[in-house]
Amino acid sequence: MLSLRDQFPSLASGLAGTYLDNAATTQAAGASLARMASFETGGRANVKRGIYPLATQATAAFENARAALARYLGAENPNEVVFTSSATAAINLVAHGFGAGLSPGDEIIIGEGEHHANIVPWQILRDRAGVVLKVLPVDDEGYPRLDALDGLITARTRLIAVTHASNVTGAVTDVAAVCDIARGKGVRVLVDGAQMAAHGPVDVATLGCDFYVVTGHKMFGPTGIGVLWARAAVLDAMAPFMGGGEMIRRVTFDETIFAPPPHRFEAGTPPITQAIGLGAAADLLLGLEWPEIRAHEQVLLGMLMERFADRDRVTVIGPGATAKRLPILSFTIAGVHPHDICELMGARGVALRGGHHCAQPLMDRLGVAATTRASLALYNIPSDIEAFTAALDETLEVLA
């Protein structure tokens, strides 16, 4: 039986080096790559309409992937799963579809710690439809301040859009608490689960949210595929975002009658191969022992933070190791720019990310222009932390 790390070809081969940029993109699982290759070489056909065997098999593979994502997200009904091209596209879909039902003066609350993907679509909606955006502040560690939420909600509040886990600080939002507050006031909740989905199955039913978005390339699947999960009743009430083939019941020059969800939101030929690959990734993740993996990730995070403890110039941005957080660690080093660190660490085989991480409002709140980020995933091992430490020492020598 393959070890966990050996199930990721780019890691098993060593080509990915010391890969600590998992919050940007995880490495693809071999099972995902194999299922996509199998489809492309022996099962390729378009989905939904064709009735010859190859096409019906392709449709079955595509719908099996939808079912796998439903299981991974804890959804009972696969028809609540809409394939998109990314988590960003999924949020934009909601901003257009759900947003079409909003009126000028309606309010949307967005978190201060959000990725730009969960800010900009709402600003575009604001500018188009006259809705009002309010900001739920974060505390000094990057956690949304739920104590401030109640005071932001009014009779005009229609939606709260928050991340499940910060791509900068790793802070995990108490989404269930957000949903509890929102539900009592008839407000919908959208959760950006892009980071969370790499760290174990999600249970949307327990969370109590209305929308949940994930992306394939951050959960060991391919790029170019994302998922919107939404409650069936919410999807039923939503207008389509894009029009085209595959999303209709009947088209005349006078009118179009749209197909029911999820097809109403999947105009045109979907990213079939990528959906099948993501389904394989979800199947793999569903079969893992997550308590063990999370404990392993936590140990590695602790190791990483210990390496910083005796360095005076290093400041960790975000919560401590034992807090409710993901193994996503941002830090600054006094007098050294993150891109200079990343350049030299990269040359030493350590993949890190530096910059604002598409979260400039959070950077402003935390009082930093940019951070360096090391983000871990299930396949990282202690020697990755050792390699990180050695490369950091060399990097700081070069920059001295």
Continuous H helices in 140-231: 149-152, 175-183, 204-207
Q: Which is nearer to another protein, 242 or 336 (CB)?
A: 336
Residue 301 burial by Cβ neighbours in a 10 Å radius (0-12, 13-18, 19+): buried
**Residue in the block written with tokens 């790559």:** 33
CB of 253 vs another protein, minimal distance in Å:
44
Task: Give the whole-angstrom CA distance, residue 129 versus residue 356.
Answer: 29
Which residues would be at the binding site for another protein (CB under 8 A)?
337-340, 343-344, 346-348, 354-356, 360, 363, 369-370, 398-399
Q: Strand 107-111 to strand 256-258: parallel, antiparallel, or no bridges (unpaired)?
A: unpaired
Amino acid making up residue 120: V
CB of 395 vs another protein, minimal distance in Å:
9
Determine whether 358 is an active site residue: yes
Alpha-carbon distances, residue 186 vs 103, 154, 178, 183 (angstroms): 16, 10, 12, 5
Alpha-carbon distances, residue 245 vs 87, 143, 235, 256, 265 (angstroms): 22, 42, 19, 11, 11
CB of 213 vs another protein, minimal distance in Å:
24
Beta-carbon count within 10 A of 9 CB: 15
Question: Which one, of 141, 89, 138, lies nearest residue 114 by Cα?
Answer: 138
CB of 353 vs another protein, minimal distance in Å:
10
Beta-carbon count within 10 A of 140 CB: 11
Residue 77 contacts residue 67 (beta carbons within 8 Å): no
Residue 335 burial by Cβ neighbours in a 10 Å radius (0-12, 13-18, 19+): exposed
Q: Which is nearer to another protein, 300 or 359 (CB)?
A: 359
CB of 369 vs another protein, minimal distance in Å:
5
CB of 167 vs another protein, minimal distance in Å:
15
Among candidate residues 179, 209, 342, 358, the one labeled active-site is: 358
Q: Which is nearer to another protein, 54 or 398 (CB)?
A: 398
Residue 367 contacts residue 283 (beta carbons within 8 Å): no
Q: Which is nearer to another protein, 298 or 360 (CB)?
A: 360
Q: Which is nearer to another protein, 362 or 376 (CB)?
A: 362
Q: Which is nearer to another protein, 156 or 339 (CB)?
A: 339
Q: Which residues contact 289 (CB under 8 A, 6 or more apart)?
A: none
Q: Which residues contact 240 (CB under 8 A, 6 or more apart)?
A: 97, 247, 258, 264, 265, 267
What is the chain's percent helix, strand, coil content, to nearest 5?
45, 20, 40
Question: Which one, of 246, 230, 248, lies nearest residue 238 by Cα?
Answer: 230
CB of 113 vs another protein, minimal distance in Å:
16
Q: Which is nearer to another protein, 254 or 397 (CB)?
A: 397
Q: Which residues are catalytic?
A: 358
